[in-house]
Structure 1
Amino acid sequence: MTNRMSWKNLLSQESKSRRGRNKSINNNDLRTEFEKDYHRILISASFRRLQDKTQVFPLDKNDFVRTRLTHSIEVSSFAKSIAQSISNRLINDKIDEEFTQEDAGFISDILASAGLLHDIGNPPFGHFGEDTIRSWFNEKLDEITIENPVTNNMQKLSEILTPQMCEDFKNFEGNAQAIRLVSKLHFLIDENGMNLTYALLNTLIKYPGSSLEINKKSGDIKDKKMGYYFAEKDLFDSIIEETGTLNKKTGKISRHPLTFLLEAADDIAYSTADIEDGFKKDYITYEDLAKIVEPLKNEENPSLCCYQKLVYYKERAIEKNYEKPEMYAVQRWIIFAQGYMINSAVSSFINNYESIMHGEYKYDLFEETNSKELVKRLKGLAAKKIYRSFAIIKMEITAHNIISFFLEHFMNSVLYYDTPFNEKYLKGVDKRFLNIISDNYMHIYRYYTEKYIKNNEGESEEKLFAYKLYLRLLLVTDYICGMTDTYAKTLYQELTGII
């Protein structure tokens, strides 16, 4: 086994600009650094924008249906509950003598914040937006050519950018965008963004590897996707070193233990919420839910049988003469199912504790529990009845058209920006699209361009040009990801002349 991770390091309160700082400067502020993280998130514009970003149903007028904001609040609540239960087990059962009561408060605060942030990097229209960005770059990086001022030749973007830069866009990921957003794009006071603690940032990194290290066949959940962009490599290195998830002897990088809990809370929230929202919108019936949970048995505790619980809640509603017994049954069962899954996640974390702390655990927390099949069946039902429905498919196509339009035109506007060929190529409508990008994003591009040049004196002109081009492409994806669903739709209609 690898070296065991330590909570002393995992719960690091340091951050990029807080490192080594005297934390007692303001004696009137009794908050911990993790509590400060929470407050920074709540007052941020990016968090507020989640109220107008898709969870499942884009641009839905029904205020019952969840948005990314309400989903994130639910994930935050589940994550904190899981943290409290695990802390209780670790301390009362004396599972880890190193883990203290103070640590218990810390992990609750960290996971509450991580729940609020976990989807903050997603573009408009949810996963539809992510898929569109990935597919667009997979097609265009080998198709678009520009004149390289260093070689004076026309070259494909994929020939100018490094392999990792290309893979960053081909594997575009909301999780990596979240790290970029909170660390750089909130450029209000200084270049440190929200200036969050390393412990929180590492909890958010579900996949602690670069776009060149993705290996979906490895069998290890942490290798499924990328966790950071090349642009944030220095920050990532600081995070894993400070929190101790980097094994300096072997070079192996482990998942932060709290990441497993955040992931479980997310699975609980969306696997149950999608069913409830789908039922409310008549995509799913009581019979649909009963059919998929009926085969599930709980030999260890028959009283926790999912099907029996669902039937019981309906019978109880009928006995009490409720107007809509099936609605009561489904909504009451959702609460039961959430508690059922929380208990599974807690038990799994405790049962696999040493493996997790050694960075050896490769699965999600439901893998060896009774909840595994339940989560799978709930997701399957949502996929069949909701995600493949005609209404959702229509919105998926709409989202694809809107984001593809933005990518096409904003990319054309930045290709030659800040190059010797700016006047030669940047004309007409392309120039006007560049002027639409907010001043804040343009400032961020200029700041990090100048910083890179300053920190890499003596670098070849070819590499400098590639990095600046890379930052300009990120400028576009940053701007698009910052849009809400309504803003994206409205801007698209305005720019295409649709009234």
Structure 2
Amino acid sequence: MMQWEDLLSLRRQGDTNKRLRIEQDETRLGFEVDYDRVIFSSAFRSLQDKTQVIPLSKTSFVHTRLTHSLEVSVVGRSLGRTIGRSILEKHPHLQTIHGHHFNDFGAIVAAAALAHDIGNPPFGHSGEKAIGDYFANGNGKRFKEQLSKKEYQDLVDYEGNANGFRILTESKNGVDGGLRLSFATLGAFMKYPKESLPKKPTKDICDKKFGVFQTDSRFFSEVALELGLLKRGNADALSYNRHPLAFLVEAADDICYTIIDFEDGINLGLIEEEFALEYLIKLVKGSINTEKYGALTMASDRLAYLRSLAINVLIAEAASIFIENEEAILKGTFSEALLDKSSFKAQIDDIIKISVEKVYRSTEVIDKEIAGYHILATLLDAYTTAFENFSNGNQRHYDKLILTSFGSVVSENVSVYKFLMECCSYVSMMTDGNALLHFQKIKGNL
């Protein structure tokens, strides 16, 4: 069974001494430092030009990955604080002996939620699929025989969550340990604490995707050990049960994309306004103030009111489900997303279904995703070919020009897997607009 005193570890990568909560400066708590480090990072700033729903959209109504991440962090903070009160009441030693406050839980979840999309490539989830497709079916397939099964799986199922862990923890350009976040925040960030193989061995929510590349497995294991996460699967498998607070990060994301993506669809005119309001009313009918709602004359004001109410309703619901199942979560026997157990699941599913039909499958989204596939495949082909020629001693002047972007990474001793991961990482760090610009340069369109 996992223990909260371990799960709330303030340790950071490279620490030699233990960090104690009772010795923390209350004006700038270590978990709050995590939030600051994420928000000031270049990787986080790049999210302002990365797709949430509509790729390359110039419409001011539409959320980017950055605005989405900020909203998820706010919801996550509320969720963390809410369950934090209950956890301290149930486990008073966490406060009396270790010095934890209920706000600690909110700060951890907020920081992890802020970073939850930091590893996503350009063009949303289709960007992940485009990278994977390049190695599974495109020119990248030529590397398959040079890689182990797990290394190849990392590429064909390229995963933004795993890339996020890499960004947050990778030592690079003289900076040791990436952002050096607390292990508690890293644990809450790890929604899928496993490697790429075996793929979906069970229906447990932990196995839905994967969260660590082979390059980062050693430190990943160190974090899991420090937090006391429970081992899963075979003895040689790198697979753990979730950090309990990862369920709250997931719930915050689920709440925001369910409600906010729906709202974006309305603002873009993809979902009929009056039709949409009916579905939101179904979700909040038990808590709506009919007099206040009836006084709102503008449809946009009614939408804002219902959106706010829906988020509050789902925060309370997710927190309640977490507290009810806390013991099972600590034992590693809770195996689904919090909102999958919600009494509002039917209403949530109805809203998501409309978003899929009207927004995610809209002509604008599909057209931009198709373009994204071509853009990312072209970039990966240029970069991997340049690395390949360099490694084989067949480097052309063109390859040298391409590789100048990678700086110190270029080395004669870099393995095939390492240089492929560097190419994917480099592409993933690009914004939507930056990826388009690089594509145009490679195509000779200056």
- TM-score, L = length of structure 1: 0.82
**Cross-structure match for 1:104:** 102
Task: Single out whichever of 467-476 and 95-104 deviates more from structure 2.
Answer: 95-104
Residue 75 (structure 1) aligned with residue 72 (structure 2)? yes
Contact between 1:168 and 1:230, CA under 8 Å: does it hold in 2? yes
Q: How many angstroms apart in 1 are the aligned matches of 2:14 and 2:55? A: 38
Measured after TM superposition, the shift of residue 199 of structure 1 is 1.2
Aligned mates of 1:328, 1:248 — CA distance in 2: 48
Letter paired with 1:438: F
Pairwise CA distance, 1:27? 10
Query: Which residue among 315, 318, 343 is the counterpart of 2:294?
Result: 315
**2:44/2:115 contact within 8 Å kept:** yes
For residues 81 and 38 of structure 1, what CA distance do their matches in structure 2 show?
A: 15
Highest Rg: 1 or 2? Answer: 1
Alignment correspondent of 1:269: 256
Match of 1:342 in 2: 315
Other-structure match for 1:38:
35
Mapped partners of 2:283, 2:365: distance in 1: 33
Amino acid at match of 2:360: Y
Aligned with 2:317: secondary structure? Answer: helix
- Residue matched to 2:326: 353
- The percent identity for this pair of structures is 31
**Pairing of 1:156-305 with structure 2 (within 5 A):** 157-184=143-170, 187=172, 189-215=174-200, 218-247=202-231, 253-290=240-277, 292=279, 296=282, 303-304=286-287
Which secondary structure does the structure 2 equivalent of 1:363 belong to?
coil
Checking the alignment, whether the CA contact within 8 Å between 2:162 and 2:210 is kept in structure 1 is: yes
Find 1:488's aligned residue among 421, 435, 444: 435
**Maintained 8 Å contact 1:402/1:489:** yes
1:425-462 C-alpha deviation (Å, 9 max, x unpaired): 22253343223x232xxx2465xx97xxxxxxxxxxxx
In structure 1, stretches of 5+ residues that fail to align are 145-156, 451-466
SS at match of 2:256: helix
Q: TM-score, normalised by structure 2?
A: 0.91
**Which position in structure 1 is the counterpart of 2:365?**
392
Distance 1:104 1:404 in 2: 47
Q: Residues 283 and 311 (structure 1 numbering): CA distance in 2 closer, same or farther, change over 3 Å?
A: farther
Deviation at 1:315, TM superposition (A): 3.4
> How do 1:3-42 residues align onto structure 2 when only pairs under 5 Å count?
4-20=1-17, 31-42=28-39
SS in 1 for 2:61: coil
Could you say if the C-alpha distance between residues 36 and 400 of structure 1 is closer, same or farther in structure 2, counting changes exceeding 3 Å? Answer: same
Call closer, same or farther: CA 1:474–1:262 in 2, change over 3 Å.
same
Distance 1:28 1:113, change over 3 A: closer
Q: Distance in 2 between matches of 1:344 and 1:87?
A: 15
* Alignment match, 1:438: 406
Q: Tell me the distance in 1 between the aligned counterparts of 2:246 and 2:324.
A: 16
Cα RMSD of the aligned pairs, angstroms, is 2.7
The alpha-carbon distance between structure 1 residues 402 and 76, as it changes in their structure 2 partners (threshold 3 A), is same
Aligned positions of 1:407-418 closer than 5 A: 407-417=380-390
What are the Cα deviations for residues 332-379 of structure 1, in whole angstroms up to 9, with x where unaligned? 111111011101101100111110011110000012222322222221
Aligned counterparts of 1:5 and 1:106: Cα–Cα separation in 2 = 18
Unaligned runs of 5+ in 2: none
CA distance in 2, matches of 1:444, 1:341: 45
26-35 or 69-78, larger mean C-alpha shift: 26-35
Alpha-carbon distance in structure 2 between the residues aligned to 1:130 and 1:42: 23
Supply the AA of the counterpart residue of 1:468: S
2:395 pairs with 1:479: no
The one-letter code matched in structure 2 to 1:276 is E
Taking the aligned partners of 2:356 and 2:289, their CA distance within structure 1 comes to 21
Corresponding residue of 2:63: 66
1:285 CA displacement: 1.4
CA distance in 1, matches of 2:380, 2:223: 31
Which residue is equivalent to 1:459? none
Distance 1:247 1:397 in 2: 40
For residues 13 and 348 of structure 1, the distance between their equivalents in structure 2, rounded to whole angstroms, comes to: 26
Specify the SS of the correspondent of 1:415.
Answer: helix
Q: Distance in 2 between the 1:181 and 1:46 partners?
A: 8
Partners of 1:59 and 1:140 in 2: how far apart?
Answer: 24
Cα deviation for residue 311 of structure 1 reads: 8.0
8 Å contact from structure 2 (residues 325, 334) kept in 1: yes
C-alpha displacement at 1:80, in angstroms?
0.4
Counterpart residue identity of residue 48, structure 1? R
How far apart are 1:135 and its partner, in Å?
1.3
Contact residue 134 and residue 170 of structure 1 kept, 8 A? yes
How far, CA to CA, are the matches of 2:33 and 2:130 in structure 1?
A: 35
Instruction: Give 1:293 shift.
Output: 5.5
Distance 1:266 1:340 in 2: 15
Return the alpha-carbon distance in structure 1 between the equivalents of residues 311 and 192 of structure 2.
25
The corresponding residue for 1:453 is none
Q: CA deviation at 1:282?
A: 0.7
Whether the 8 Å CA contact 1:313–1:328 is kept in 2: the answer is no
Deviation for aligned residue 1:249:
12
How many Å apart are 1:250 and its aligned residue? 9.0
| Residue number in structure 2 paired with 1:95 | 90
Whether contact under 8 Å (2:129, 2:157) holds in the other structure is no
Change (3 A) 1:438 1:158: closer
Amino acid at match of 1:477: C
Aligned to 2:123: 125
Asked whether the equivalents of residues 277 and 303 of structure 2 are also in contact (C-alpha less than 8 Å), the reply is no
Residue 61 of structure 1 aligns to a residue whose secondary structure is: coil
Going from structure 1 to structure 2, the CA distance change for 1:214 and 1:249 (only over 3 Å counts) comes to closer
Letter in 2 for 1:184: E
Cα deviation digits, residues 463-495 of structure 1 (max 9, x gap): xxxx71100001100110111111111221222
Letter aligned with residue 162 of structure 1: S
Structure 2 CA distance for aligned equivalents of residues 247 and 494 of structure 1: 47
The question of whether the paired residues in 2 share the 8 Å contact of 1:413 and 1:426 is answered with: yes
Cα separation, 2, equivalents of 1:359 and 1:29: 32
Report the equivalent of 2:135: 137
Q: Secondary structure at the match of 1:180?
A: helix
Q: Which secondary structure state, in structure 2, belongs to the residue aligned with residue 178 of structure 1?
A: helix
Residue 462 of structure 1: aligned partner: none
